Structure 1
């Protein structure tokens, strides 16, 4: 690996205990000792990309997904074992044919074991399963980074000091329901809440005690539970305008650059309402039933902020009588003409 301090190439024996053998400085992450094969230079590079060189913030969970993308595409099958079993099986099998037949049987069993690895690889066993979940990332790689550098990577928001989104939002004004606390922290850190007066809520059940007239936006993962969130909010707030901002399944399903995550398969009571939705294809329904989904933390921060900002602006315009009247007469639209 390359030392993040002196930028010298280091062999494994030249970096004991995460200390560079050439400059003597300590680094945080060694690709040989963490499940995501991380090193400091990669973390910095990915963070700069996520934050667009500091133009937008990002949260630790958004960084977790970005660093996990590569491993989420891969299976968890060790093909090195398959190769070793194949070679050993061939040697033992040939030896058995020439000497003792018992060796041939053992060689055949070894080849069958190698075939099992190949079948598992083709079947995608382990694909979509995080090598390191969010909590382990905080307790492991992120804690190691803090220990060495006394801070998070530049641009990453320290969400440990943020309180949870308020249980009961204001009865009037715009409300954004987002169960993912990491995304709520990101939107708050990006200034959305103060700029537009948006109140964040984590659970639609908390909204039932404040049945104000203001619109409610719903932001969710593209998985079985997330696709039902807007319906839950409508049931909790009958008569109040509810807008499903997304994440829409069609925006990520089957897209090559959208790397999904596989969790536990949802229960039957979750899938039953989805079975009645005409907009879901049979393939999408089966995909969701197997536990697949795409998390909000996987959306590029700048893109997510832009989408939510547009949704907030539209909701505010629709709820404001003066803005609706101005839009009806073409106020703030570009005048048409010959361009002279």
Structure 2
């Protein structure tokens, strides 16, 4: 990775403890520890592209969308084959019957019953079975994980978030200007990150509108 302080290409042994061995300065993220693409130079580039070099404010959630490196999804899958429990139940029952038969007989019949009992116990391992799997998806890094990197590692290293990035974990910031007496419109926002973005950039004040944040499931009650 590239040191964000002196621009030196660092090997793993040259960045122990998230400190550059060339300039002795600390950096926040190491892709070996925090995941592919999670390093200071790339995160700064992502933040600069979103904020227009700091002239626009964006949220940590929006930076996460821009910084994600991998996403995948898979459909639901039904169970296939015979369940292991059923296979073993049948196998043990047949095995017990063969052993009982071997005990009652002798000679070659008893021998072959014993062999059959052993072979029956191998069958459950050979019968294919695939468990059911629900549909799902995976994003790397997760929103929770990325937020932790930015609010812990990044802020402890640089004293704050990248220029123009605001934390949307708490309530949306409110502008200092009072709400207009006769607003032109009302914006009902059901996404907290978007509400934080609009307030942080002073959009309601500039457009003379009122911004209301509501739960997506109860947005219709705001004007009830």
Q: State the TM bucket, normalised to the shorter chain.
A: 0.5 to 0.7
Q: Does 1:195 align with 2:206?
A: yes
Change (3 A) 1:236 1:188: closer
Name the CA distance, whole Å, in 1 between partners of 2:169 and 2:138: 25
TM-score of the two chains, using structure 1 as the length reference: 0.42
Q: Does 1:66 align with 2:69?
A: no
- Number of residue pairs matched by the alignment: 168
Picking from 137, 140, 157, the partner of 1:131 is 140
Who is 1:151 aligned against? 160
Name the CA distance, whole Å, in 1 between partners of 2:195 and 2:222: 21
Name stretches of at least 5 consecutive residues in structure 1 with no aligned partner.
77-108, 205-225, 239-340
Q: Deviation at 1:185?
A: 1.3
TM-score of the two chains, using structure 2 as the length reference: 0.61
Who is 2:56 aligned against? 56
Q: Are the counterparts in 1 of residues 180 and 209 from structure 2 also a CA contact under 8 Å?
A: no
Q: Are the counterparts in 1 of residues 180 and 208 from structure 2 also a CA contact under 8 Å?
A: no
Q: Which has the higher contact order (CA 8 A, sep 6+)?
A: 2
Instruction: Summarize the alignment of residues 66-105 of structure 1 with structure 2, pairs less than 5 Å apart.
Output: 66-68=66-68, 70-72=69-71, 74=72
Who is 1:299 aligned against? none
Q: Are the counterparts in 1 of residues 190 and 214 from structure 2 also a CA contact under 8 Å?
A: yes
Name the CA distance, whole Å, in 1 between partners of 2:169 and 2:214: 20
Name the CA distance, whole Å, in 2 between partners of 1:59 and 1:186: 6
Q: Deviation at 1:44?
A: 0.7
Name the CA distance, whole Å, in 1 between partners of 2:144 and 2:52: 25
Encode CA deviations 1:238-271: one digit per residue, 9 max, x unaligned: 7xxxxxxxxxxxxxxxxxxxxxxxxxxxxxxxxx
Q: What is the DSSP-based 3-state SS (H/G/I as helix, E as strand, rest coil) of the residue aligned with 1:4?
A: coil
Q: What is the DSSP-based 3-state SS (H/G/I as helix, E as strand, rest coil) of the residue aligned with 1:21?
A: coil
Change (3 A) 1:143 1:187: same
Encode CA deviations 1:302-322: one digit per residue, 9 max, x unaligned: xxxxxxxxxxxxxxxxxxxxx
Who is 1:184 aligned against? 195
Picking from 237, 242, 265, the partner of 2:223 is 237
Name the CA distance, whole Å, in 1 between partners of 2:164 and 2:8: 26
